[in-house]
Structure 1
Amino acid sequence: MTDPYEPPAPAEGPARCLTVLTTTDDEAKAQELARGAIEARVAACAQVGAPVTSVYRWAGAVETSREVQVLFKTTEARYDALEAHIRAAHDYDTPEIIATPVVRGSADYLDWIAKETR
Structure 2
Amino acid sequence: MEGNSKTVPSIVVYVTVPNKEAGKKLAESIVKAKLAACVNRVPGIESVYEWKGETDAEELLIIKTRQSLLETLTEHVKANHEYDVPEVIALPITGGSQPYLEWLKSSTRD
Using structure 1 for the length normalisation, give the TM-score.
Answer: 0.86
Q: Secondary structure at the match of 2:50?
A: strand
Q: Could you tell me which residue of structure 1 aligns to residue 95 of structure 2? A: 104
Of residues 81, 86, 107, the one that matches 1:95 is 86
Matches of 2:51 and 2:43 in 1, distance apart?
23
Question: What corresponds to 2:40 in structure 1?
Answer: 47
**Which residue in the other structure is 1:26 paired with?**
19
Is 1:16 paired with 2:1?
Answer: no
**Structure showing greater Rg:** 1
- Unaligned ranges ≥5, structure 2: none
Counterparts of 1:29 and 1:50 in 2: how far apart (Å)? 11
**Alignment-mate amino acid for residue 52 of structure 1:** I
Q: How many equivalent pairs are there?
A: 106
Is 1:36 the counterpart of 2:43? The answer is: no
Unaligned runs of 5+ in 1: 1-10
1:68-107 deviation line (CA, Å, top 9, x unaligned): 0001100011111111111110010000101000011111
Of residues 74, 80, 101, the one that matches 1:83 is: 74
TM-score (norm 2): 0.92
Shift of 1:49: 0.5
What is the alpha-carbon root mean square deviation over aligned residues?
1.0
**Among 53, 56, 60, the residue aligned to 2:49:** 56
Which digits, 9 at most, give the CA deviation of each residue in 1:21-78, with x for residues without a partner?
001111010001100000000001001112111100013x3x2110000011000111
Distance in 2 (CA, whole Å) between partners of 1:33 and 1:21 is 13
For residues 79 and 107 of structure 1, the distance between their equivalents in structure 2, rounded to whole angstroms, comes to 21
